[in-house]
Structure 1
Amino acid sequence: MSLNKVQKKTRRLSLTIALGLFALLYTVTNFYAQTLFDDIQQHLTFSLVPKTIYELSVPLDTFIPFIPVMIVPYSWSILLFCASFFVVKTPWQLSLLTRRLILATVLGCLIFYLFPARFSFVRPLPTDWTRFGYQFLGLTDKPFNQLPSLHVAYALVLGATLWEVYRSVIYRALLFVVCSLIIVSTVFTYQHHVLDIIGGCLLAASVIWLANNLRNNLVLKYVAVAVSGFILLSVLGYLLSRQRNEFIEIICLLLAGYWLMSFLSLAWLYQYPNHVKKWFKKDKQGRLNAQAWVAFAPVLSGYYLMWYVVQRYSVYPQKAKQTPHHLSEYKCIYSVASAKVLNVLSHNLYSALDSQTVIIVDCAVEANSHYSPAKKALTDHTNANLCYLYFPILDLQSFVDIDSDEMIELFKQIKKIEADKALASETGVVIHFHCIMGFSRSIALQVLYLVYCQVLTVDNYRDWIATTYPKAHVSEDYLPLSVVKNISIKTDPSRHHIVGV
């Protein structure tokens, strides 16, 4: 029963996101086109950027009759849109459906903004019962947002996605009829032209291909954020320019373009994570370089604000449950999630950390590491020796996407530092897997290091996480068993040994 409830909740959440995004972007672009059209009709020129409203009718459109009753299948689109989230069976089908619909929405609305078009003909006013449907349509949807037809794109995307849910001939025949009627209704209700239908087909084909090739939903998330922000900022700029300040639109367009490129670049990095190191570089003090700030200022600013709120209003545990009281007696490993925790840990354990070697492994790319304040705190009160290593991992990025060979190289670096310091001194080595934004990355990396060191195994690492970090959120999707097995297989047991944990 609980599984069913969770499944229904997930379905409703996916529907809310897809439908909410459609309602926002479609309404904004429709309103923008209507406002632009009215301004052009009144010969008002508020914008420094040339704009026009396109009319896309072709000779074939003049031969298409107006069939009032086709408002019925036209209205099925929203019903099929909503029902589809409760028809799909598996999490994969639900994820694919959501991906495709969101992609169709953001790409379609981006074209609506860049290429605003208006239906060319005057629709006759029905006198029968169908007039109520057209009156409602007139209130909710102005004759803009033409190319591509989202009705067509949605019908094809939904048809392709729902086709494999059931293999019943009756089900597939009914699905085909419903989707076909939705498509043809767009021209018989005088909502779209033939070119809009072609555009909708091309959009659907592009969406299906793109959705099938996305690495994960995080790529889609940042594509949606990129396009949505671009549209909202651009439309806002035009509306503000109507207050007789044309330069405001130029500023908003520049900001919108920067927002678009920044978040699309981040989406590209989630799609191709091997390039993360090239974009999110840090110096030896754990500070992001200028290139990262220039390219990702909107992203980094958002993460900084989020980090500040979390640190200001949340309380973190001061130390992991397995932390011993006398570090000098052990060779220990910690996971530290913020500078505040790191400073508290250092303050409470000054005597234990005296003359220790502390290796800080920074795995967060979204903000500067607090290695510098930690170093100052330790050097002011102890003779501890600090080493800094940087292993960039994107937020919520599954460890499936991280090259296991690169992780092995990191672990070898840690072992080398540990071995060198152990030879030079009888004191221990403390390793902080440090993520300024939270515990998940640091815990997962710590687990893999312990597996590499033969301290944890594929059989007990989950129990260890549950015992050591009972409030952590390290899911199977985030740290899959396959990744743990891969690290275990690549490890040579005769070369690695750790004691006291």
Structure 2
Amino acid sequence: MTKRMLFIIISAGICFLLFPLRFSLIKPEANNTIFQFFFQFLSKVDSPYNQAPSLHVAFALLFWTVFRNLKSYWRALAAFWLLLLALSTITTYQHHFIDIICGAILAQISFIIFPFQKNNFQLRNFQVANYYFLVGWITVLLVLILNQFHAHFWLILVWIVLVIFMIGYQYQKNNIHFLKDRYGNIPFYKKVFYFPYRAIYWFFWKFLRKYTKPTRILPGLFISSKLDKTEIQDFDFNEKTFVYDLSAELEENDVIKEKSQYFCVPFLDIGSFELIVTKKLVLQITTNYTQLPAGGKILIHCTMGFTRSAVIGILVVKKILSLPLEEAIIIVTKANKHTVIQKYLQDFLKTNNL
């Protein structure tokens, strides 16, 4: 909290010195005696040059990171008070709307540079959400600029802003089913609203994935990215095939759902693995593996095949073979050289008894 506050004050101060902006509109006279007193007091104590970024807004967002942990009544009261604090910058003719956005961007940058409990795996989703929120605020700034100079472009960006903020919110809540239901289907209205998000993941999946066929990590046990139609035909799915879809972004191919025993257990990309869900999933896959009929096989896949499927694959190999974690990691990474196990995942695997 202290580091964030110092960063905001120093950064804003530098901006005030380098860009001494002033309120550009004529301030109306306050006729009411009481309001006139307050506005005169404000003009005496407040410098006219501290425009962008707004410290009121930056501090409102900063204080919310503390007050959001209060109980329901006090939490609602704190949220309302901080909202009034941010809006006061407009009602007192101190700032333009763009100054508010700059203040929000500054606060969001402080959250990223000084994360709360950086090495706490359970807070990973909050850290990812902060990046989404930062991109969201920057996009709002872009909307304002385009609206000023190219008014016909800004509406579609408002849609994108809403999508970005909603995704950040879903990460904060660890809502793994914010797109796909428990059967792996995405309702039509979600397909429409989240189209930009899904389109980006489809592009990544189509052109940037490294593996175009499943990788065998044990006899009858495979990990992969989401498969296309040709790869589905090559893998030969049947009623003895178990498929575990860990992707939260893209729907499974209908052929896989129809021909195999399909399970949708999504995890948010580059986010945390909920401990209870992970344990239950690993136990289920391990049990099915030990009871596989002749010719049976298990496929674990996510969207890109880099992380989520690899992490679950490591845990399954560890449990099936009763291996130390390090040996299970070696088996999977040797089979799939493009596996990405970042430090926060290594800490999660080492510190939890899975």
| TM-score (structure 2 length as normaliser) | 0.63
Which of 277, 280, 291 lines up with 2:179 in the alignment?
280
The alpha-carbon distance between structure 1 residues 61 and 209, as it changes in their structure 2 partners (threshold 3 A), is same
Number of aligned residue pairs: 285
For 2:352, what is the secondary structure of its paired residue?
helix
Whole-angstrom distance in 2 between the partners of 1:392 and 1:53: 54
Is 1:344 matched with 2:231?
yes
Whole-angstrom distance in 2 between the partners of 1:236 and 1:409: 49
Larger Rg: 1
Residue 362 of structure 1 aligns with which residue?
Answer: 245
Q: Deviations over 1:341-398 (max 9, x none)?
A: x843742x65xx7x6611111111111223x24467xx6xxxxxx111111111111x
Contact 1:448 1:487 in 2 (8 A): no
State the 1:62 CA deviation. Answer: 6.6
Contact 1:335 1:439 in 2 (8 A): no
Which of 280, 302, 309 lines up with 2:200 in the alignment?
302
Listed as ranges, the matches of 1:172-191 within 5 Å are none
Residue 221 of structure 2 aligns with which residue?
Answer: 333
- Segments of structure 2 that go 5 or more residues without pairing to the other structure are 1-10, 30-37, 63-91, 118-122
State the 1:403 CA deviation. Answer: 2.0
Listed as ranges, the matches of 1:66-85 within 5 Å are none
Listed as ranges, the matches of 1:40-79 within 5 Å are 59=40
State the 1:447 CA deviation. Answer: 1.0
The alpha-carbon distance between structure 1 residues 465 and 263, as it changes in their structure 2 partners (threshold 3 A), is same
State the 1:485 CA deviation. Answer: 5.3
Contact 1:219 1:267 in 2 (8 A): yes
| TM-score (structure 1 length as normaliser) | 0.46
Whole-angstrom distance in 2 between the partners of 1:487 and 1:452: 11
What residue identity is the alignment partner of 2:179? F
State the 1:462 CA deviation. Answer: 2.7
What residue identity is the alignment partner of 1:357? K
Contact 1:320 1:468 in 2 (8 A): yes
Whole-angstrom distance in 1 between the partners of 2:149 and 2:245: 44
Q: Deviations over 1:83-116 (max 9, x none)?
A: xxxxxxxxxxxxxxxxxxxxxxxxxxxxxxxxxx
The alpha-carbon distance between structure 1 residues 240 and 310, as it changes in their structure 2 partners (threshold 3 A), is same
Listed as ranges, the matches of 1:241-260 within 5 Å are 241=151, 248=152, 252-253=154-155, 255-260=156-161
Q: Deviations over 1:152-197 (max 9, x none)?
A: 979xx9xxxxxxxxxxxxxxxxxxxxxxxxxxxxxxxxxxx9x78x
Contact 2:211 2:305 in 1 (8 A): no
Contact 1:336 1:442 in 2 (8 A): yes
Residue 460 of structure 1 aligns with which residue?
Answer: 327
Residue 266 of structure 1 aligns with which residue?
Answer: 167
The alpha-carbon distance between structure 1 residues 54 and 310, as it changes in their structure 2 partners (threshold 3 A), is farther
For 1:339, what is the secondary structure of its paired residue?
coil
Listed as ranges, the matches of 1:181-260 within 5 Å are 213=116, 215-216=123-124, 217-241=127-151, 248=152, 252-253=154-155, 255-260=156-161
Is 1:429 matched with 2:316?
no
Residue 389 of structure 1 aligns with which residue?
Answer: 263
The alpha-carbon distance between structure 1 residues 487 and 387, as it changes in their structure 2 partners (threshold 3 A), is farther
Contact 1:356 1:428 in 2 (8 A): no
Whole-angstrom distance in 1 between the partners of 2:337 and 2:52: 53
Whole-angstrom distance in 1 between the partners of 2:26 and 2:332: 59
For 1:460, what is the secondary structure of its paired residue?
helix
Contact 1:230 1:257 in 2 (8 A): yes
State the 1:319 CA deviation. Answer: 4.3
Whole-angstrom distance in 2 between the partners of 1:203 and 1:55: 27
Is 1:148 matched with 2:54?
yes
The alpha-carbon distance between structure 1 residues 205 and 367, as it changes in their structure 2 partners (threshold 3 A), is closer
What residue identity is the alignment partner of 2:135? V
Contact 1:433 1:446 in 2 (8 A): yes
What residue identity is the alignment partner of 1:148? S
Residue 316 of structure 1 aligns with which residue?
Answer: 211
Q: CA RMSD in A?
A: 4.6
Contact 1:231 1:256 in 2 (8 A): no
For 1:453, what is the secondary structure of its paired residue?
helix
The alpha-carbon distance between structure 1 residues 230 and 318, as it changes in their structure 2 partners (threshold 3 A), is same
Contact 2:105 2:137 in 1 (8 A): no
Contact 2:179 2:248 in 1 (8 A): yes
